[in-house]
Structure formats: C-alpha cells, structure tokens
Amino acid sequence: MLASRRTSASTPPRTRRAGDPVGLADPIAASALEGLHGVLLTVAYDGARFHGWAAQPGGVRTVEETLRGALREMAPEASPPRGTSRTDAGVHARAQMVAFDTSRPIPPRGWVLGLNQNLPDDVAVRGARAVPPGFAPRFACRHKLYEYVVSTDPVRCPLTDARAWRVGPGVDVERMACAARHLVGTHDFAAFRTARDERTSTTRTLLEVTVAREGPSRVRFSFRGTAFLYNMVRILVGTLVDIGKGRLDEGCIPRAFVEKDRSALGPTAPPQGLLLALVDLDMPPGTGEPWPPS
C-alpha cells in the first residue's frame, strides 16, 4: 500500500531582493558585459566525495571548483560559475542551475559535450542554453524542490544506503504525513536550522510537502519552497522521523515556530539521503532553447 500525504500552498509573487543583478539597461552593467555570451547549465552530481557546492580555501574538493576547472579547459577567460543552491558536503543534485559568461560563441550542444569530456564521473552537465550575460540564477529562483530518502530496512544494504538514511523499521508513515501538513505555508523556521546559519531573517515559505512510501522499505520526503535555511530540510526530516518513531508528538512543529527551540526537535538527518531535485527559474527575455531539447 502506498501511504502518502501532500499539502500545498499557492506560490507568492516574487519581489526584487537586495543583491539582484543590475538590469542590462544600466549603462555600466551593459558596457561590462559587452561582447560576452551568457550560458546556463543544468548540472547533476553525486555529492559523496565533495565538500559541498561552494569553493572553499585549502584546496578541498568542491563541485564549483571542479566545474570551474572544466570551464578553464574550454574557455580560460570564462567567469566563475554562479550556482543557485549551496548544497552541503555529501548532498546530491539532479538539477543544480549554474550560469557563467564567456567571450566564446559556443552553442549549447558544444558546452554540454565539451564540459563532460573534462569532468569526472561524479559530475555531469545535463543541459545548456543561452541566457543574457550577467544572468544570476540564484536571484531568479521561483522555488526549489528537495527530496530526501529514508530506508526502513532492518538490515544494511550497500546498494541503497549510500543514497538514503537507514532508520530501521517501526516508522509510521501516515503519522509523519499528518505532521508534515503543519509545515506548509509561511512560518518562522528559526528552530529548523543549525548554529552556523546566522541570517537574521528566518521566515520561509514551504509551498508543498509530501511524505510517501516507495515499496516495502523506502520513504521519500519532498519539500518545495521558495528558500531554505542552512540544514533546514535535514532537520525537518529528522523531526518527522522522530514523530514517526513516536519519540516526538505532532505538536512539536507548531510549537517550534513560536518557541524557536532547536533542542525540542529531532536530529539533523545525515546528508547522503538529500537531493536537490529541481530549481524553477524565472527565465529572462532572450533565453535560448535548451540542448538537449526538453
């Protein structure tokens, strides 16, 4: 039997945020970008051997630096890649959206095939399209979809445990689905972040939350929202699992919105079960057709 519950809220209108890129009509921005071509990539990666997306000091392996190295092989003058989501160490992505600017008029097909020749097996460019130079996908994001997989298998399995958090049997999926309905909407998620997140604004909007059993020993959580705090999804999953195990009551979620007490919630789920599944962008005028065709 498939046990699932989906709750959703309508998408709020997007407003311009501080730090949005200057419009191309601005004479300074236009002169700086003159003669450049913008490219938008869809990038997938297995995050197991990466220290996250963002470049870091000390030469640690990150997705951004790995992609930048492949770009240098094709276009040494290209700008650094501009990602949409700063995924953490061990987190995977199916559709990280990445933009860069270059003076080279290479068609989208050429970027996909050429970059993949210079990338390791755990990163791949899955698509490319032309965009106006200077396009910053982070500030054009309408919503992101994160998925998290939990295994209820009583015995470890090397074929699946690398992409799931094995919590063992005895998880009430329907109880987790009922608790997840409290998450939908606009709330103060201050309790659902780690201490490393020092942002002063902690109000976020979740548009849809789904909890569904897949087969006898897998549960998939889906969270679609306009923005997320650091480790927010992993803390949400850890809390829902503790509710499903009977360690926490369903009311802990609405209480956390008011009390903002991280210690009253579940653990931070490990990174290997988390996937950035989709990024929905507000594409600017002048965007070209993708390759491969969708």
The angle subtended at Cα 277 by Cα 60 and Cα 262, nearest 5°, is 70
Phi, psi of 274 (to 5 degrees): -95, 140
Alpha helices in 17-107, H assignment, sequence order: 27-32, 63-74
In the chain, how many H helices and how many E strands?
A: 6, 11
Instruction: Determine the topology of domain 34-135 in CATH.
Output: Alpha-Beta Plaits (3.30.70)
Q: Do domains 34-135 and 141-276 have the same CATH topology?
A: yes
The pLDDT confidence band at residue 123, using thresholds 50, 70 and 90, is very high
Domain 141-276 has CATH 3.20.10.10: no
**Residue where the block lists tokens 């071509």:** 37
Kindly report, residue by residue over 159-181, the tens digit of the pLDDT. Answer: 999 999 999 999 999 999 999 99
d(C-alpha 39, C-alpha 108), whole Å: 8
Residue 197, pLDDT score: 83
10 vs 68, residue with greater confidence: 68
Q: CB neighbours (10 Å) of residue 263?
A: 5
180-204 pLDDT, tens digit per residue, is 999 999 999 999 999 888 888 999 9
**Beta strand spans in 132-273 (E):** 141-151, 165-166, 185-188, 203-213, 218-225
Q: Residue 89: what pLDDT?
A: 96
Amino acid at 221: F
pLDDT at 284 over 50: yes
Buried b or exposed e, range 228-244, using 16+ CB within 10 angstroms: bbbbbbbbbbbbbbbbb
Q: Which residues contact 160 (CB under 8 A, 6 or more apart)?
A: 151, 153, 218
Question: pLDDT tens digit string along 89-113?
Answer: 999 999 999 999 999 999 999 999 9
Place of tokens 């039997």: 1
Containing 68, the helix (H) or strand (E) segment is: helix 63-74
pLDDT score for 34 = 86
Question: In residues, how long is the chain?
Answer: 294
Please give the pLDDT value at position 38.
Answer: 97
27-85 pLDDT per residue, tens: 446 667 889 999 999 999 999 999 999 999 988 999 999 999 999 999 999 999 999 99
- Cβ-based neighbours of 250, under 8 Å, separated by 6 or more: 175, 178, 179, 182, 243
**Residue 132 φ then ψ, to 5°:** -60, 140
Question: What pLDDT score was predicted for residue 59?
Answer: 87
Delimit the domains of the chain by residue range: 34-135, 141-276
Q: Say how many Å lie between the first and final Cα of the chain, rounded.
A: 33
Write down the pLDDT at residue 294. Answer: 81
**Residue 86 pLDDT > 80, yes or no?**
yes
At residue 30, φ and ψ (nearest 5 deg) are -65, -40
The band of 1, judged by pLDDT with boundaries at 50, 70 and 90, is: very low
Name the band, by pLDDT with cuts 50, 70 and 90, for residue 9. Answer: low
The pLDDT tens digits for 213-262 are: 999 999 999 999 999 999 999 999 999 999 999 999 999 999 999 999 99
Tell me which DSSP letter residue 114 carries: H
Catalytic site residues?
88
